[in-house]
Structures are given as structure tokens and as C-alpha cells.
Amino acid sequence: MRFLHTADWHLGRVFHARSLLEDQAWMLDQFVALVRERRPDAVLIAGDVYDRAVPPPEAVALLDDVLARIVADAGIPVVMIAGNHDSAQRLGFGARLLTAQGLHVAGITERDATCVTLSDAHGEVRIYALPYAEPATVRDAFDMEVPGHEAALAARLDAIRASHPAQARSVVVAHAFVIGGEASESERPLSVGGSGAVAASVFDGFDLVALGHLHRPQTFGQRIHYAGSLLKYSLSEVTHAKSVSLIELAADGAVSIEPIALTPRRDLRIVEGQLADLLAQGAADPRRDDYIHAVLTDNGALLDPMARLRQAYPNALAIERAVLARSGEAGAAGQRLRQLDTGELFANFFKEVADEALDDDKRRVLDQVLEGIARADRESA
């Protein structure tokens, strides 16, 4: 059985004040063409379909169009889950009716996971769709204590194992941070305080685990796979080779994964040099329309360098002055500060004003408050 696995479309994302919707539509046109050409048994979309709980209406229209072309026009079923950027309720609208058409959307987390059963010559394959859920949501759905993300996911997977027929192959579609995975700057942390990760072993026993959340394509133990994001959504992803994944699930449950690269309308690149050199280089650059992050090595003052850079690279997004970045302690301290999360920043601040460290109890209260804020932020509309 064959799947096309993709994730982290982040439709509606704004990057350096620019909407990426046209770039996303450009990629998804290729994705739809690929679906029509390769005709997988199902398309798996592993969460963060939208960039935020309330996406712009144009992003809603784009997703509607893409799904209709895959499900109605090409006749290929889709299994799609909500990620931590999506609103479970909004993404799940119409799910009960849509499932009869072959669009299986898992938004709200319920005790009984959404299960889609497909068959090939070798028998049944059960696809379990597990939308992203906070531990508190899982606690409510299962009426049991789950201290964190790993326990929550383990509880949901245990419930599936208890009813999964031994002879059927199994696929899990989920949205999670597997310990050891390589993160990027555009992923929103699943948990304040760093307890959001889960051990790969929670997925023991399932034949294929098709994940979303991490933006670089990566695989654990040949069967736990992140397809990666649709586009480069942060500078930290500039070296990523983005792709979607064609996955073959053999009769014995063995998995083989073929990454298929789609071509972005505009790549995200770093160029480095003196402004004058970059202007000359850009004029002759066949990919001058790319999104450009320029590292300028000039030492002196520069008059409106962005306006000048955009004459050569019209879609230049940002300029970094190498001389400033290198200028000693202040720059390095700023860099270190930017890498701290809110909890660490607050802990430093507390130490500064109270002259004592934040103890474990206080830190726990702080984390709960920050979690609450993050949750309210996600759910607010």
C-alpha cells in the first residue's frame, strides 16, 4: 500500500511581513499533480495545516480547493489531523459528513481515535489519525491522570493497541516532537518548560508512524517519519531539502520512503558580501526573485541598504550586518538571550530582582501560567 505523506503546510503564514499564500498555492499545485500521477492509496497530512487557529479566509479557500481536487476530482482519500497551530474545532468542521466522501479529518481529540481502514491484496491497513492534543485534553477524554505529553500520547496509543486486530497492518498519523529530532526555529514549542517531547518507543508496535511538527524531513528507525514542512519557514531551514514522502508499506509491514522534492516559486537563500558586490551579482542572478537574507560585510555606514538591495533582489527580506554581529560581548549576549524561552527569561529576571533562584515549586507555577497563556492564545479568536 502506498501513501503520500506531507505535513506542516502552515497555510496563511506570514514571513517578514509577507504572505506566503501564493508560494503555498504554487507548491500545492505541484502536490496535487503528484497525487494524480502517483495515485497513492491515501494522502496523509500530519497537522499544522494552517499557521494559526484562525487562518485568513484566503487560506481557508486554498485548503478547500486543494482538498476538493484531491478527494473529489482525483478520487484519492485524505487523512488529515490538526496540529498544534490548528484549531481542533475549526479544522474539524463537517468531519462527520466529509468522511463519507473520503476526506477524513481528525480535529477534536476523543477517546476513540479516528480510524480509516483500507485494504490491498495483502489485507487490511488501519490508519489511526491522532490530532495534536494538550495533556489536559487527553486527561479529560480518557478520565485519567497524564502528567505530560509522553504519557498523554502513550495513553492514546495504548487504547488503539487494545483494539487493533493483530493481522492488520497499522499506520499512525500524529503531530509530536520525538526526542532526538532536529528542530527548526519556525516550530512553536509544544510545551513551556521543555516537557513536550516523547520517546520514539511510545510508537512501538505500529508499522508506520507518519508525523508532523518538525520542519526538516527526518526518519527514526526506518518507520517513524517526519515529512517536513511545505516550505522553508525560517532562516534556520535555509539548508533544508523540503520534500513530500512517497511511502510504500509492504505486505509484511516493512516501510520504504522516497522523498520527492517540489520546486518552490521562490527559494529562501542567504547571500553574503559587500553591498556593491551583491548588487552586481543580483543583476545577473537568474534566481534574483528568491527570498534573500543578505549578510553585508561592509564596515562603514550604508545609506538605506534595503532599498538598494531590492533593486537587485526584489524579494530581499532581511539584512544582517556582519560587523555588528561580530562586535563583541553585546552581540553575543543578545544572541544568547534570543535563544532563551520565556520561562528562562523570567527565571533570570526573578533572580535579578529577588536575589534568589526560582525554586522548583515556583517554576512549576510559572510553567502552568505560561501554558495557560499559550493555550488561551491558541484558542482565542
Q: Which residues bind a second copy (CB under 8 A)?
A: 53-58, 60-61, 63-64, 67-68, 71-72, 87-90, 92-98, 100-101, 103, 108, 379, 381
Shortest Cβ 71–a second copy spacing (Å): 6
- Type of residue numbered 305: P
φ, ψ for residue 133, nearest 5 deg:
-145, 140
Q: Report the residue number, 54 or 295, with the smaller CB distance to a second copy.
A: 54
With both helix axes pointing from N to C terminus, report the angle between 360-379 and 342-354 in degrees, rounded to the nearest 10: 140
Q: Report the residue number, 63 or 176, with the smaller CB distance to a second copy.
A: 63
Which among 30, 43, 31 has a CA at the least distance from the CA of 1?
A: 43
Q: Report the residue number, 61 or 347, with the smaller CB distance to a second copy.
A: 61
State the cell numbers at 235. 532562516
Cα(321)–Cα(272) distance, integer angstroms: 10
List CB contacts of 193: < 8 A, sequence separation 6 or more.
Answer: 343, 363, 367, 370
Cα(116)–Cα(113) distance, integer angstroms: 10
Shortest Cβ 89–a second copy spacing (Å): 4
Shortest Cβ 141–a second copy spacing (Å): 15
Cα(232)–Cα(12) distance, integer angstroms: 14
Q: Report the residue number, 288 or 375, with the smaller CB distance to a second copy.
A: 375
Q: Report the residue number, 141 or 312, with the smaller CB distance to a second copy.
A: 141
Q: Report the residue number, 65 or 289, with the smaller CB distance to a second copy.
A: 65
Shortest Cβ 72–a second copy spacing (Å): 6
Shortest Cβ 63–a second copy spacing (Å): 7
Asked whether the CA dihedral 267, 269, 275, 280 is positive or negative, the reply is: negative
Cα(127)–Cα(137) distance, integer angstroms: 22
Shortest Cβ 212–a second copy spacing (Å): 20
Q: Report the residue number, 108 or 159, with the smaller CB distance to a second copy.
A: 108
The per-residue b/e assignment along 127-158, b for 16 or more CB within 10 angstroms, e otherwise, is: bbbbbbbbbebbbebbeeebeebbbbbbbbbe
Residue pair 293/318 in contact by the 8 Å Cβ criterion: yes
Shortest Cβ 378–a second copy spacing (Å): 10
